[in-house]
Structure 1
Amino acid sequence: MSTAQDTAPRTPAAAEPGNRRAATPLGVLLEPVRGRVRASAALQGAAGALGLVPLICLVEIARALLAAGPADTALVWTLVAAALAGSAASLAAGAASTLVGHLADNDMQLSVRRSLARHMGRVPLGLLSGRGSGRVKKALHDDIEDVHSLVAHTLPDLAAVVTVPVVALVYLFAVDWRLALLSVALVAAGVALFARAMSGSARNMALYAEAMNDINASAVEFVDGIQVVKHFGGHRRAHERFTRSSDAFADFFLAWSRSTTPATVGSFLLLSAPMVTVAVVAAGAATTALGWSEPVAVVAFALLAPALCAPMNVIGSRAQQIRAAGAAASRVAALLGTPRLGEGAGAVPRGARVTFEGVRFAYPAQEDGEPGEEVLRGVDLVLEPGTVTALVGPSGAGKTTLATLPARFHDVTGGTVTVGGADVRDIPARELYRSVGFVFQDARLLRESIADNIALGRPGATRAEVEAAARAARISERVEALPRGYDSVVGEDADLSGGEAQRVCIARLLLADTPVLVLDEATAAVDPVSEAAIQDALGELARGRTVLVIAHRLATVTGADRIAVMEGGRITESGTHGELLELGGRYAHLWRAQHSDDRTDKGEAL
């Protein structure tokens, strides 16, 4: 936990227990740079106050020139010098505020991103798949950007927004308290009208969002289904749904606007600089004519009264930015609070035998993080070194969940998973990933060169070793045909198909040379030509290794050493292809459903 005395920027762990220094996630996030943020705000406030010095000096110059008798030349020149000095000091303080605030912001962003990177490197890999990766991207980029705006811009601006009217009001009360009260009354009336206009805004904003969602849903429904709609002659009905949603939104928005427009317009008029200036100048002229005020008071209020209403024009947007930053900080804190996997006791796998003993697993429930319904219910399975074991069964049986456990995508909630005789929870992550490799349907490549993507499997590999792995994965010819060969960058001058990207991933695993492989239907989403090339590459990859493969098309695993049938989180049948057909159970039924000449049982989704 960092303290205000830290000399190096660090992010306090938002999820660490015992953190009492800050009550909110935003406070925790800003704790390491709190002192510099305050300094930036103070400097910006000083810059705003010093920015009034030239105006105040101008009023005092007018006072000196309008005084009876000869003008005090020395005083006038002193005021001119003070005005110039105030302008220079205001610019210097503003520049210093910007520098201090942005340096603090840079340190905050760097420390938060480093903390997130360290933390996410230790969370279960399964949490980063699907929507989890989107959460990480949002936290690392969008949410931190919201906090950046708060640190570098919003808080310093708020300091100036508060300081400038206070200083101006103090001076104006010293000049003429009657006109000062009039100025305050105008601002108070504008604020009251604005508050009235905003009453019920929370409810109306919720209705606004709901109406916009209805429009978006009906538009997407119409566009996505336009071919089917037109084919069956229902375009009028689909179009009417969109029209009704649009009309409902228009009616709601017009009603809301009509109810708030008078108060909003009145508020903006009362808080506008021209209105305040005209009002106080007219009042000043009247009080001067009556002998209640000095002529110079009119000059003072003409120059400084607009500063009283300036904050009202920006305070709403700044408050919204603070709320946005608070929500962003909460999301970052929630991500930093994601439970991490244990570091492991230092066990080292001895061999490539993988065992599942009484394995039970339930994904955490989204609401409270407690385990939800069990996906695996006591699985026992042994993968012998040098053999291929296939998992088959209907969708939702738990095949993918079971296959990810040797790579420790999740920790089991019951039983044990061992690799080379060591519990995977006791194996350090670096050592575990030297032993277990995986290829899934969704091939993931970095925006790096082809060579760098392959070398992720073994960072110290030579170019010759990288090219040898590419040849073994049946992707070398395609890579060599690229503009820069192995130096071509994915997404720039290397646009690879799904099957080609899959073979690059296989080359990566060949280079890593892990003794245990997990394959999740790597050919499910590719064309027949690519499938043949990938099957050849997988044959090379699986040679001499312990392989666990998830199969949806049973014909691809008929040669497996063992086929395990999963249903409802349990293994219900196990044996070779021939043995399971003779058994006449679930596997035989699935085989007949996939290979019958006269029917296709679409109800058996694998």
Structure 2
Amino acid sequence: MSTATLKSAEAGTAAGAARTPSPLGVLLRPVKGRVRAAVALQGLAAALGLAPLICLAELARVLLADGPADPAAVWPLVAGALAGAVASPAAGAAATLVGHLADNDMQLSVRRALVRHLGRVPLGWFAGKGSGRVKKALHDDIEDVHSLVAHTLPDLASVVAVPAVALVYLAAVDWRLTLVALVPVAGGVLLFARAMAGSMKKMAEYAEAMGAVNTAAVEFVNGIQVVKHFGGHRRAHERFTRAADAFADFFASWSRSTTPVTVGSFLLLSAPTVAVAAVAAGTAFTLLGWSDPASVVAFALLAPALCAPMNVIGSRMQQIQAATAAAGRVAALLDTPVLPEGGGARPQGSRVVFDGVRFAYPDGGDGERGGEALRGVDLVLEPGTVTALVGPSGAGKTTLATLPARFHDATAGSVSIGGADVRDIPADELYRTVGFVFQEVRLLRESVADNIAMGRPEAGRAEVEAAARAARIAERIEALPRGYDSVVGEDAELSGGEAQRVAIARALLADTPVLILDEATAAVDPVSEAAIQDALGELARGRTVLVVAHRLATVTGADRIAVMEAGRVVETGTHRELLERGGRYAGLWRAQHPPEPDGTGEKQ
């Protein structure tokens, strides 16, 4: 179910086919046979469900005939009614079983395909809206397709089978009464079509009006502190009330224009209306000698089945549309470009070289930023040294730092580790070589020990505890209700600084020779920062380290500082060398460390 599978499935549908199969058809292809079987079984169950009513109608014909009833004609009808009453739910249960098993296999294959595919998508893709799209595809969209496979398609079989069987039987009983019974059905269908006229345009207006309400509500709630502080709450509230009033006016107008017609349609398509019309006509026909009482019984029992489809057809069509749209989103996700797999190169050492690196985010699309972020960066990270990237926001620091881990691939130039281009290093080998600790920590809803051991699942408890001690987080973990077995989000509630130290313990245990730190202390309090700095000092020992920092005071001890601006490295040197040079770094330092009030000069 990868992109290649989708393409090959599309190509192999039927040579010379006029159009490409829909994404929904492609997703359902592996279970198509079982879905058809479930639909057929549900249709059979619906048809068999009418068998008891048909047998009862025929039994009435036998019993109302002149003279004593013939037992040879009565008992087969009774047996047929009982058999239909038993066979119908049995066929329905079989349809449910087959449909849900097919649905389970479909969901499993699609989710596996998504996981395999997304495992090869650039990690940077997830930084934008990627994670939201993944959640929607893996849960919401597949749930929509599940409803189609397990419920909607079998239900449609019932919707078709019930009126079809009833119509054939009633036409055989009395074609004139059948035409009478169809009059309210036809009238209801016409009214329903009239009510739905222009519904697509109205639905678009509905979505737009609801979107305006949601936007105003979110704006009001998110900014409530600011607007109340500056006295603008009345304006923000008025925007919300205007949007809500506009939505209410639109919806009321739409309802007024469609409610009478819709109610009329539902009344004509209701089972009592059809039954009363058929029985009244049958009574009149019987009095006129055109029909017989047994036929009236048959129509009283089965005429309501003629309007069965219209009770659910609208919701089922909406479910089909939702599933079709969901399948399109899943297929689009499976078409997300992936990083080419490495060719088998192995790094020989931990020297990192950026050689003429250029990188441009896509214009629009997932990156959404567009434009060139790096413009010919040359930089060497020597083994066992700490190199700091500094510069103003938007200079390209984080973008450059993510390239050794292949969050993206450079659009020009190369990034190599130990003499091997990162594009030629297999993913498993690359992530055994490059570790990273970022400002935003991600801990899974697992035990603290499992979170630490993520990079080395085979590590023993003693190694996990040693990494925690080195990361200055062991005491906090041991104070948790179940210690290292406490589950994050359940009985382990960690602050930002504590979670950061768990991430550092994870990196320590992974023991990668190259380490990337991106603003690891930017969002924590001074006490946590001191503990994290101690842990980072332990983590950086003997490794090739690249640090991204905005606060220059945190990297004054770096072996080398590279100053970036507008996607280029404009200065390199130690803290003291760069200050003495009086260039861009010195200006940044003065901005962050103005002269002391007593005029003694800058802190250095």
Q: TM-score, normalised by structure 1?
A: 0.94
Work out the CA distance in 2 between the residues paired with 1:183 and 1:39. Answer: 32
CA contact (8 A) 1:15 1:336 kept: no
1:76 maps to which residue? 74
Deviation readout 1:564-588 (Å, 9 max, x if unpaired): 1111111111111122222222211
1:14 maps to which residue? 6
How many Å apart are 1:410 and its aligned residue? 1.0
Deviation readout 1:342-377 (Å, 9 max, x if unpaired): 221111100000001111112233459999422111
Return 5+ residue gaps in structure 1 as ranges: 2-9, 600-606
Work out the CA distance in 2 between the residues paired with 1:367 and 1:438. Answer: 26
1:472 maps to which residue? 470
- Of 524, 527, 536, the match for 1:526: 524
Return 5+ residue gaps in structure 2 as ranges: 14-19, 598-604
User: Relative to 1, partners in 2 of residues 1:16 and 1:566: Cα closer, same or farther, differing over 3 Å?
Assistant: farther
1:170 maps to which residue? 168
CA contact (8 A) 1:358 1:379 kept: yes
SS at match of 1:14: helix
SS at match of 2:6: coil
- Of 480, 500, 503, the match for 1:505: 503
User: Relative to 1, partners in 2 of residues 1:443 and 1:234: Cα closer, same or farther, differing over 3 Å?
Assistant: closer
Deviation readout 1:459-489 (Å, 9 max, x if unpaired): 1111111100000000000000111111111
1:254-293 correspondence to structure 2 within 5 Å: 254-293=252-291
Work out the CA distance in 2 between the residues paired with 1:11 and 1:81. Answer: 54
User: Relative to 1, partners in 2 of residues 1:456 and 1:225: Cα closer, same or farther, differing over 3 Å?
Assistant: closer
How many Å apart are 1:274 and its aligned residue? 1.0
Q: For structure 1, which segment, 236-245 or 345-354, has the greater mean C-alpha deviation from structure 2 after superposition?
A: 236-245
User: Relative to 1, partners in 2 of residues 1:419 and 1:231: Cα closer, same or farther, differing over 3 Å?
Assistant: closer
Work out the CA distance in 1 between the residues paired with 2:365 and 2:230. Answer: 42
Deviation readout 1:543-584 (Å, 9 max, x if unpaired): 010000000101111111111111111111111112222222
Deviation readout 1:492-536 (Å, 9 max, x if unpaired): 111111111111111111111100000001011111111111110
How many Å apart are 1:245 and its aligned residue? 2.1
SS at match of 1:314: helix
- Of 152, 161, 164, the match for 2:159: 161
Question: Paired residues, what number?
Answer: 591
Is 1:199 paired with 2:204?
no
Work out the CA distance in 2 between the residues paired with 1:62 and 1:442. Answer: 76
User: Which amino acid in 2 is paired with 1:275?
Assistant: T
- Of 149, 152, 160, the match for 2:150: 152
Q: For structure 1, which segment, 504-513 or 577-586, has the greater mean C-alpha deviation from structure 2 after superposition?
A: 577-586
- Of 33, 48, 51, the match for 1:35: 33
How many Å apart are 1:86 and its aligned residue? 1.0
CA contact (8 A) 1:49 1:164 kept: yes
CA contact (8 A) 1:12 1:29 kept: no
Work out the CA distance in 2 between the residues paired with 1:134 and 1:371. Answer: 17
- Of 143, 148, 167, the match for 2:141: 143
User: Relative to 1, partners in 2 of residues 1:408 and 1:222: Cα closer, same or farther, differing over 3 Å?
Assistant: closer
CA contact (8 A) 1:15 1:333 kept: no
1:228-307 correspondence to structure 2 within 5 Å: 228-307=226-305
CA contact (8 A) 1:362 1:371 kept: no
User: Relative to 1, partners in 2 of residues 1:584 and 1:12: Cα closer, same or farther, differing over 3 Å?
Assistant: closer
CA contact (8 A) 1:12 1:32 kept: no
- Of 320, 323, 330, the match for 1:322: 320
Work out the CA distance in 1 between the residues paired with 2:365 and 2:433. Answer: 35
Q: For structure 1, which segment, 561-570 or 427-436, has the greater mean C-alpha deviation from structure 2 after superposition?
A: 561-570
How many Å apart are 1:117 and its aligned residue? 1.2
SS at match of 1:309: helix
SS at match of 2:388: strand
Work out the CA distance in 2 between the residues paired with 1:19 and 1:597. Answer: 71
SS at match of 1:533: helix
Task: Give the RMSD, CA atoms, in angstroms.
Answer: 1.9
User: Relative to 1, partners in 2 of residues 1:526 and 1:371: Cα closer, same or farther, differing over 3 Å?
Assistant: closer
SS at match of 1:460: coil
SS at match of 2:542: coil
Q: For structure 1, which segment, 197-206 or 470-479, has the greater mean C-alpha deviation from structure 2 after superposition?
A: 197-206
Q: For structure 1, which segment, 290-299 or 213-222, has the greater mean C-alpha deviation from structure 2 after superposition?
A: 213-222
1:195-594 correspondence to structure 2 within 5 Å: 195-367=193-365, 372-594=370-592
2:602 maps to which residue? none
CA contact (8 A) 2:43 2:154 kept: yes
CA contact (8 A) 2:41 2:91 kept: yes
How many Å apart are 1:230 and its aligned residue? 3.6
- Of 100, 105, 110, the match for 1:107: 105
User: Which amino acid in 1 is paired with 2:30?
Assistant: P
User: Relative to 1, partners in 2 of residues 1:402 and 1:11: Cα closer, same or farther, differing over 3 Å?
Assistant: closer
The percent of aligned pairs where both chains have the same amino acid is 79
Work out the CA distance in 2 between the residues paired with 1:115 and 1:220. Answer: 35
SS at match of 2:393: coil
Q: For structure 1, which segment, 416-425 or 562-571, has the greater mean C-alpha deviation from structure 2 after superposition?
A: 562-571
Q: For structure 1, which segment, 540-549 or 252-261, has the greater mean C-alpha deviation from structure 2 after superposition?
A: 252-261
Work out the CA distance in 2 between the residues paired with 1:124 and 1:378. Answer: 21
How many Å apart are 1:316 and its aligned residue? 0.7
Deviation readout 1:281-328 (Å, 9 max, x if unpaired): 111111111111111111111111111111111011111111111111
1:95 maps to which residue? 93
User: Which amino acid in 1 is paired with 2:42?
Assistant: Q
1:23 maps to which residue? 21
CA contact (8 A) 1:398 1:568 kept: yes
User: Which amino acid in 2 is paired with 1:283?
Assistant: A
SS at match of 1:415: strand
User: Relative to 1, partners in 2 of residues 1:107 and 1:548: Cα closer, same or farther, differing over 3 Å?
Assistant: same
2:17 maps to which residue? none
Segments ≥4 residues shifted beyond 6 Å: 368-371
User: Which amino acid in 1 is paired with 2:324?
Assistant: G
SS at match of 2:455: coil
How many Å apart are 1:20 and its aligned residue? 4.1
Deviation readout 1:103-155 (Å, 9 max, x if unpaired): 10111111111111111111111112242112111111111111111111110
Work out the CA distance in 2 between the residues paired with 1:16 and 1:359. Answer: 36
CA contact (8 A) 2:360 2:374 kept: yes
Work out the CA distance in 2 between the residues paired with 1:193 and 1:404. Answer: 61
Work out the CA distance in 1 between the residues paired with 2:53 and 2:217. Answer: 55
CA contact (8 A) 2:468 2:474 kept: yes
Work out the CA distance in 1 between the residues paired with 2:9 and 2:58. Answer: 58
SS at match of 1:254: helix
- Of 59, 62, 70, the match for 1:61: 59
1:603 maps to which residue? none
User: Which amino acid in 2 is paired with 1:578?
Assistant: R
User: Which amino acid in 1 is paired with 2:6?
Assistant: A
How many Å apart are 1:11 and its aligned residue? 9.8
User: Relative to 1, partners in 2 of residues 1:122 and 1:526: Cα closer, same or farther, differing over 3 Å?
Assistant: same
User: Which amino acid in 1 is paired with 2:575?
Assistant: H
How many Å apart are 1:15 and its aligned residue? 5.2
Work out the CA distance in 2 between the residues paired with 1:40 and 1:451. Answer: 46
User: Relative to 1, partners in 2 of residues 1:238 and 1:429: Cα closer, same or farther, differing over 3 Å?
Assistant: closer
Work out the CA distance in 1 between the residues paired with 2:144 and 2:183. Answer: 35
CA contact (8 A) 1:11 1:32 kept: no
User: Which amino acid in 2 is paired with 1:309?
Assistant: C
How many Å apart are 1:76 and its aligned residue? 0.9
Q: For structure 1, which segment, 378-387 or 584-593, has the greater mean C-alpha deviation from structure 2 after superposition?
A: 584-593
- Of 114, 117, 131, the match for 1:116: 114
Work out the CA distance in 1 between the residues paired with 2:156 and 2:448. Answer: 49
Deviation readout 1:240-276 (Å, 9 max, x if unpaired): 3332222222221111111111111110111111111
How many Å apart are 1:236 and its aligned residue? 3.4
